[in-house]
Amino acid sequence: MNVASHLQKIRKLEALRSRLDPMDDFELWFWSAMNAGTHAVNAALHDAKITRADDVFPAQPGVYLVPQPDSSVRPAFHPLGDVLHVGRPKIDAPIPEDVAAMMHEMELIEHHRDPCIRGERPPTPAIAQQCERALRRCLELLGKRLPGAQP
């Protein structure tokens, strides 16, 4: 997806997160943080010319939904554009230091995904604070890379 659309998605997710309680709404609060951070990483990867900013949408690694002239969409193999999650797929290219730092922050968030969202580990304020700090750092790094394009 193009960078502007990623930034728009981040704005929407941040607006929603401001209405969610980190504890009472942990699942959606966490999931929207994960989505926002992944959009940030994708925008940074596009800006660094590592991945393509095409308006095709990942269904699984290597397969994207591709809009057709008749407004339908069709799954097709496509060069690397948006990643689904950090590490999915793994990027076999040198990553600039700031983008690697963003990806590291997202790994800190994703570490809690399966235990707390899919499993029975209760979310704690400490986990929520760690996720919030990681997302803030990720978005700050994007803001430095794309000055003037505040998500």
Q: Which residues bind another protein (CB under 8 A)?
A: 1, 5, 8-9, 12-13, 16, 19-20, 24-29, 31-32, 35, 55-60, 64-65, 67, 73, 82, 84, 117-120
Q: How far apart are CA 129 and CA 119, in angstroms?
A: 19
Minimal distance in Å, beta carbon 86 to another protein?
Answer: 14
Q: Looking at beta carbons only, is 1 or 147 nearer to another protein?
A: 1
Minimal distance in Å, beta carbon 106 to another protein?
Answer: 15
Q: Looking at beta carbons only, is 94 or 138 nearer to another protein?
A: 138
| Residue 71, beta-bridge partner list | none
Q: Looking at beta carbons only, is 114 or 144 nearer to another protein?
A: 114
User: What are the contacts of 122-130 at 24+ separation with CB within 8 A?
Assistant: 123/22, 123/23, 123/26, 123/30, 125/22, 125/23, 128/22, 128/23, 128/26, 128/29, 128/30
